[in-house]
Amino acid sequence: MSGKLIRGAGILMPISSLPSPYGIGTLGKEAYRFADWLCEAGQRYWQVLPVGPTSFGDSPYQSFSAFAGNPYFIDLDTLIEEGLIDRECVSEAGADGEEDRVDYSRLFDSRFKILKKAYGRSGHKGEREYISFCEKNSFWLDDYALFMALKEHFDNRSWTEWDEDIRFRRADRVAFYRESLAYEIDFWRFCQYKFFEQWGRLKKYVNERGIKIIGDIPLYVSLDSADVWACNHLFEMDERRRPVCVAGVPPDCFSEDGQLWGNPIYNWEAMEREHFDWWRKRMNSCAALYDVIRIDHFIGIVRYYAIPADSVNAKTGEWRTGPGRKLTDIISDSVGDASIIAEDLGVIVPPVRELIEETGWPGMKIFEFAFDGQPYNEYLPHNYKNPNCVLYAGTHDNDTIKGFVDKAYDHQKAQVMDYIGAGDISEIPRRMIQAAYMSIADAVIIQMQDVLELGTEARMNTPSTIGANWQWRARLEQIDHNDAAWLRKYAGIYGRSL
């Protein structure tokens, strides 16, 4: 049975959003400095977004693998200290970038050149730790490394556009490419070795300071992923290995066309025939990465929305019954002492609530959803009946508190100010955080942008849009002692302090 959350407070700060001189946050010194800042601020939790390698659109929820780590997060200063690259190499590759935004196209052009130089100088192949890492993770690493080498070979096109023989994984062609692309395959293994080596050191440092890392995992995997290519039978695909149906959500008050995510739907019958082995391995891997695992779109385990793959929007989908308790039992058995958070936002039907109660996993509350003028709104803290929940002011899919208030109607602003006791609109971000800390919710997680009182310009993601998401970064000087002091003060007052 997964562990229970301790009453506490935490910060949602993606690895990509950390300060660094290299265009994106990494697992280097600023990650350690942020852990120290969390400790100074009395925080018990550090929540990150999915850490997998990102694909088209740069979303961490659309990854090339459900198991791999993002090579962009490998810290270059650490590689310099290890003698694998030099500073001139980093400068020549143009690894620097804007302080407060991630330029993913620039990263794609520069970062792998640097990592390949590090790979060329590395003596990792004979190291006992590397050999052990490859053996322990062979169930996903071998297919992932081959998949990435093949993507390079086929000009980074989706695997659905590769030559048919390898798209269908004909044994003779798999063997041919494993031999002909051996150097490239080992490069991708090397990247994973370095990612997990650096992640392990950071996690140990964070945990030693009494802080737990909350990791976010998407329910579905990307179509263009090693998982779907290598385990095609576990997804609803036709004889041409094309999706029959894809995931999404139906039209609602936020989107008249619904959301067409495009992820392939699981073949739950095939999953069950294999005793959910893929899920067991996935959750076991997540439990090694994180102390707490937030399952995004948890309601899809109970019932999921399947949209014909040729649809132009999400209006034509249908609801189907998911595996429910069969899968949650497997998850519980696979995560050991790690805790689970069930992202239960959306249209909640009784079976979803029943399953969450049966598992004992905490669901989620969103403070920004609370202000519709009704005193009985379920997201208002005075209506919480059970402390076994996680309260967010807003998630990565919501506007910042300041952005939310700036766009709110006058009557909403008035309700917010009355509810949290703000004398002026400028007081709302801190007053809302204080009110959240005051609630009975076991855990309160606040986006770093809200601690810094930033507006919509710092929003992480706007659902159903691409092109300007996942880019926000904190500048080094923004993570200061003053913010740590007031967070620690209120965490202490309301029994959440580390």
In this model, does residue 95 exceed pLDDT 80?
A: no
DSSP tag of 191: H
Closest CA to 202 of 296, 104, 291: 291
Q: Residue 3's pLDDT band (boundaries 50, 70, 90)?
A: low
296 catalytically annotated: yes
Q: How far apart are CA 312 and CA 297, in angstroms?
A: 22
CA torsion, ordered 283, 286, 291, 296, to nearest 10 deg: -80
Q: How far apart are CA 106 and CA 95, in angstroms?
A: 8
Among candidate residues 343, 344, 442, 483, the one labeled active-site is 343
Quote the pLDDT of residue 1. Answer: 47
Quick check: 433 and 465 in contact, CB under 8 A? no
In this model, does residue 92 exceed pLDDT 90?
A: no
In this model, does residue 177 exceed pLDDT 50?
A: yes
Among candidate residues 142, 333, 397, 427, the one labeled active-site is 397
Burial class (CB in 10 A: 0-12, 13-18, 19+), 3: middle
Q: How far apart are CA 91 and CA 308, in angstroms?
A: 47
Burial class (CB in 10 A: 0-12, 13-18, 19+), 202: buried
User: Per DSSP, which regions of 1-145 are E strands?
Assistant: 8-12, 45-48
Among candidate residues 296, 344, 450, 483, the one labeled active-site is 296
418 catalytically annotated: no
Tell me the pLDDT tens digit for each residue of 389-444.
Answer: 999 999 999 999 999 999 999 999 999 999 999 999 999 999 999 999 999 999 99
pTM score over 0.95: yes
Higher per-residue confidence, 463 vs 412: 412
96 catalytically annotated: no
- Beta bridge mates, 321: 303
Tell me the pLDDT tens digit for each residue of 253-296.
Answer: 767 888 899 999 999 999 999 999 999 999 999 999 999 999 99
Q: In this structure, which amino acid lies at residue 266?
A: Y
In this model, does residue 2 exceed pLDDT 60?
A: no
- Decide: helix, strand or coil at residue 457: helix
Q: How far apart are CA 93 and CA 87, in angstroms?
A: 10
8-493 topology per CATH: TIM Barrel (3.20.20)
